[in-house]
Amino acid sequence: IKQQLNNLAIFTGIPTFTEKLHVGRPNIGNRESLLNRINDILDRRWLTNNGPYVQEFEQRIAEFVGVKHCIATCNATLALEIAIRAAGLKGEVIVPSFTFIATAHALQWQEITPVFCDIDPKTHNIDPKQIEQLITPRTTGIIGVHLWGRPCNVEALSKIARTHNLKLMFDAAHAFGCSHQGRMIGSFGDAEVFSFHATKFLNTFEGGAIVTNNDELAAKIRLMTNFGFAGMDNVIYIGTNGKMHETSAAMGLTGLESLEEFVAINYHNYQQYKKELQSIPGLKIIAYDKTQKSNYQYIVLEIDEKDFGISRDYLVEILQAENVIARKYFYPGCHNMEPYRSYFPYNRLLLPKTEKLVNRVLCLPTGTALKPEDISKICQIINLVAANSCELSKVRFYSHI
């Protein structure tokens, strides 16, 4: 346990952890179950192209979410691209800037302009109150992002979409296993997209899925995911190769068997962080709605430099020196990254809440790979820093002159 500032690895101490602790360490389910499935795949010699495990995975996801259709894909970025194209979005689409870059790229990749909207600082999600002023004759849709698995204001967004005749989709990359007003996320808007990337609550190594209740849209998405083939020699739409393969589905099915255990561990980690980081001035841990289902996959802190005493960036440097690889998701915001930074400099003036939040947020490690004693050690470092932030900020100041 580090008691003094000079024990910190950023000064003269040795790092608290000998190995790096990552945000987004994958949740691995039952190994034997996975290996059995992989043996089945090899025995069957059916590796991809709508194989039996992919079909089973799609059925399980649709049942779990309570939607009519699930189309599994090779990742969520391509799933977003396909869903956007199948839904007929073009021109301009309103999205938050405070999201992973994939949300914006999925639009720009097909020459649709992402128009960035500010967020509600309480929820970190797109602020419906700001949307209407961004609607132009070129606007065709809105994509909300359920950031950290916390639902967007679905009702307000649906109302705006209805009034202006816009499509409404959700990037639900973080939100598998979460609910909103008693309904599972995945069942809102015209379509929603999950990510099953290694770092996500449920993973298929790489993977994603589009879920929807719209039969026509689902049929189109399914064709587009497989080059547009409707039968062996008949291509009826433009398509791409967005297919999930059998080993990914095997991983997904295995993970689904352990879902309750993953949530229980994430929830326990979250409660422990909350308890051990309570009442630190200028440090807030984001809240999850207890009345709803959450996957608790993200431990997100907000640092108010004035009250905490040092900046979020300095805290991240201190933690990383201890081998706690905290992440500044989603700094600096999509509008501050290329190509958007050059295309849309005017956006900068419109996003004051995003600009503020991107400098305050950091994510800490959690998940099944983390032990309770690791969390205690991480919290001890943060508590030591908080108790000595005044001295640390002086050291920082003098090291810069």
Tell me how far CA of residue 323 lies from CA of 8, 9, 80, 270, in angstroms: 11, 9, 34, 20
Closest to ligand T4K by CB, 103 or 258: 103
Q: How far is the CB of 306 from ligand T4K (least distance, A)?
A: 28
For residue 337, give both structure tokens: 């990254």
Reference 197, options 209, 185, 208; nearest CA is 208
Closest to ligand T4K by CB, 82 or 280: 82
Taking CB atoms, the residue at the shortest distance from ligand T4K is: 24
Q: How far is the CB of 77 from ligand T4K (least distance, A)?
A: 4
Q: How far is the CB of 79 from ligand T4K (least distance, A)?
A: 8
200 is catalytic: yes
Closest to ligand T4K by CB, 309 or 333: 333
CB-side neighbour CA atoms (13 Å) of 170? 31
> Which parts of this chain interact with ligand T4K (CB under 6 A)?
22-26, 75-77, 99-100, 102-103, 145, 171, 173-174, 195, 197-199, 208, 325, 329
**Helix or strand or coil: residue 297?**
coil
Q: How far is the CB of 5 from ligand T4K (least distance, A)?
A: 26
Q: How far is the CB of 9 from ligand T4K (least distance, A)?
A: 18
Is-contact 326 364, C-beta < 8 A? yes
Beta strands in 129-276 (DSSP E): 139-145, 167-171, 179-180, 183-184, 191-195, 208-212
Closest to ligand T4K by CB, 82 or 115: 82
Tell me how far CA of residue 121 lies from CA of 147, 170, 270, 276, in angstroms: 12, 19, 21, 24
Closest to ligand T4K by CB, 43 or 338: 338
Q: How far is the CB of 262 from ligand T4K (least distance, A)?
A: 15
For residue 102, give both structure tokens: 């994939």
The alpha carbon of 385 is separated from its chain's Cα centroid by a whole number of angstroms, namely: 28
Q: How far is the CB of 40 from ligand T4K (least distance, A)?
A: 24
CA 172/CA 318 separation, integer angstroms: 32
The backbone torsions φ and ψ at residue 66, rounded to the nearest 5 degrees and listed phi first, read 80, 40
Closest to ligand T4K by CB, 174 or 360: 174
Q: How far is the CB of 298 from ligand T4K (least distance, A)?
A: 9
Marked catalytic residue, from 2, 167, 200, 243: 200
Closest to ligand T4K by CB, 74 or 283: 74
Closest to ligand T4K by CB, 173 or 217: 173
Is-contact 350 116, C-beta < 8 A? yes
CB crowding 318-343: b at 16 or more within 10 Å, else e? bbbbbebbbbebbbebbbbbeebeee
Beta strand 299-303 pairing with 361-364: antiparallel
The set of long-range contacts for 26-29, using a CB threshold of 8 Å and a minimum separation of 24, is 26/198, 26/199, 26/203, 26/367, 26/369, 27/201, 27/202, 27/203, 27/255, 27/258, 27/262, 27/367, 27/368, 27/369, 28/368, 29/251, 29/254, 29/255, 29/256, 29/257, 29/258
Residue 245 DSSP symbol: P
Reference 300, options 363, 367, 370, 378; nearest CA is 363
Beta strands in 230-330 (DSSP E): 283-285, 299-303, 324-325
Catalytic positions are 200
